[in-house]
Amino acid sequence: MTDIAMAALPIDLGSGPFAVTTRALAKRFGAVRALDGLDLQVPEGAVYVLVGPNGAGKSTLIRTIMGLVRYQAGAVSVLGRDPADRGAEVRADIGYVPEDYRFGYAWMTVGRWLEHEAVYHPSWDAEYARELSTRYEIDRGRRCHTLSKGQSRRVQLLAALAHRPPLLLLDEPTDGLDHVVRDETLSILSEHLADSPTTVVISTHRVYEVEPLVDHVGVLSEGRLLGQLPRDELRGSLLRYWADVPEGWSGPGELGGRVVKRSGAARAIEWTVWGDRDAVTRGLSEAGAAVREVAPLSVDEAAVALLSETGRKAS
């Protein structure tokens, strides 16, 4: 790997307007750096997915946006406000699905819990809540502590959507949902986005489950962003190249892109390269490789490629 310089993907999304931004955000828990100089930019109206391994800081970031965590350095702006000192107003604008599916008020019935949520959100749309209740087959008479993980998630999603907030923060929203309910959730979210102007931030391990909705991607590792860019830019510029190469091939000189990952052996080689497709193809061809196929990566594959690269660098 000595000839290849790995560099992070772009993280600047330009001038906005942004629904959520953080600048040089830092948060430590004791000696652990949960967030380490994070510059998040979530464009207004985007469906932004945060991907990263466990402990990358996804949940801490989401909870910071909610004003549930006190950050130590940097700046946060959520719809123009700092959650550290205007937490109540910030939370009023957020539909939040926490990572934890357990209810605080376990002794309440689901119906009572939803009433509770409605009291706190003056913009609660009771008719919409009923419609979602039907689509999600929510039994309002059950006690919250008897709900399964998936049933809890549905109730939480309903509560997050029903007041039609300008910002949705979904921490592992599909966790515990079976295939049918997950599919229904995607359909509900699609309609919700078409009906109400909403910015969505999703944190998840299972990007493939929400990928069709996503239009922006942020890859988080060790409290820092490795990349933050529109989905289409990722699709267009982070590509996998398969090429046949001659025996004893020494590799391309300058590829005109940044190699994220290289594998393969002998005469067939696979590269994952960030860069202009034509330039990279030309570079490979000029070096004597016959490019057979170029294909974009799914968000999941892109994340794995980026994260495994940093993992190798760190070790």
Partner 1 sequence: MKIRLSHADGRPLYVQIMDEVRSGLVRGTLRPEDPLPSVRELSSSLRVNPRTVSQAYAALERDGVVRIRHGKGTFVAPGVRPDERERPRLAREVARRALADASRNGLALGDLMTALREVEGGDPHQDGDGRKEGGQ
Partner 2 sequence: MTDSTIGRIPAMKAVWMEQLRVVGLAIRREAGLAALVVALGSVAVIGISRLPVLQAIFNEDMQRLVFDPAESPWMFIPVLAALLLPIVVWKGERRFGDTPLWSMPVDHRRHILLKVTAGWVWLMAILAAFLAWATLTTMVSGGALGVDEVRLLLLDAAGASAGAPDAMEPVNWTTPWWQWVLPFTSASAAYLLASTLVLATARPLFWAAGLWVAGAVVLGIGEIWDIGWMQRTTEFVAWYIGGESFARGVQLPTGREVVWTLLPTVQMWMALSAFWITLGLAGVLVASGRPRNQ
Which residues contribute to the site for partner 2 (CB under 8 A)? Answer: 29, 63, 66, 68-70, 79, 81, 86-93, 96, 98, 100, 103-108, 112, 116, 119-123, 164, 166, 197
Indicate the burial class of 19 (C-beta count within 10 angstroms; 0-12, 13-18, 19 or more): buried
Residue 211 DSSP symbol: G
Cβ closer to partner 2: 66 or 243?
66
Which of partner 1, partner 2, none lies near 11, with the C-beta cut-off 5 to 8 A by kind? Answer: none
Cβ closer to partner 1: 38 or 306?
306
State the Cα angle at 104 between 162 and 115, rounded to 5°: 35
From the list 113, 314, 136, the residue with the least C-alpha distance to 224 is 314
Q: Which residues contact 254 (CB under 8 A, 6 or more apart)?
A: 283
Which of partner 2, partner 1, none lies near 18, with the C-beta cut-off 5 to 8 A by kind? Answer: none
Whether the CA torsion 46, 12, 253, 4 is positive or negative: it is: negative
Cβ closer to partner 2: 223 or 257?
223
Least distance (Å) from partner 1 to the CB of residue 151? 21
Cβ closer to partner 2: 115 or 270?
115
Whole-angstrom distance, CA of residue 285 vs CA of residue 291? 7
Which of partner 2, partner 1, none lies near 222, with the C-beta cut-off 5 to 8 A by kind? Answer: none
Cβ closer to partner 2: 66 or 161?
66
CB 201 within 8 A of CB 20: yes
Least distance (Å) from partner 1 to the CB of residue 148? 23
CB 103 within 8 A of CB 145: yes
Cβ closer to partner 1: 39 or 300?
300
CA 5 to each of CA 157, 272, 274, 310: distance values in angstroms, whole numbers, following the listed order: 43, 13, 11, 12
Least distance (Å) from partner 1 to the CB of residue 281? 12
Q: What residue ranges bind partner 1 (CB under 8 A)? A: 45, 47, 183, 186-187, 190-191, 193-195, 211-215, 232, 235, 242, 244, 292-293, 295-296, 298
CB 185 within 8 A of CB 17: no
Cβ closer to partner 1: 103 or 242?
242
State the Cα angle at 156 between 154 and 160, rounded to 5°: 115
Which of partner 2, partner 1, none lies near 232, with the C-beta cut-off 5 to 8 A by kind? Answer: partner 1
Which of partner 1, partner 2, none lies near 121, with the C-beta cut-off 5 to 8 A by kind? Answer: partner 2
CB 226 within 8 A of CB 219: yes
Which of partner 1, partner 2, none lies near 215, with the C-beta cut-off 5 to 8 A by kind? Answer: partner 1
Least distance (Å) from partner 1 to the CB of residue 190? 4
Written as one string, the DSSP assignment of 64-125 is HHTT-S--SEEEEEETTB-TTTSHHHHHHTEEEE-S----S-TTSBHHHHHHHHHHH-TT--
Least distance (Å) from partner 2 to the CB of residue 251? 49
Least distance (Å) from partner 1 to the CB of residue 171? 19
Cβ closer to partner 2: 116 or 312?
116
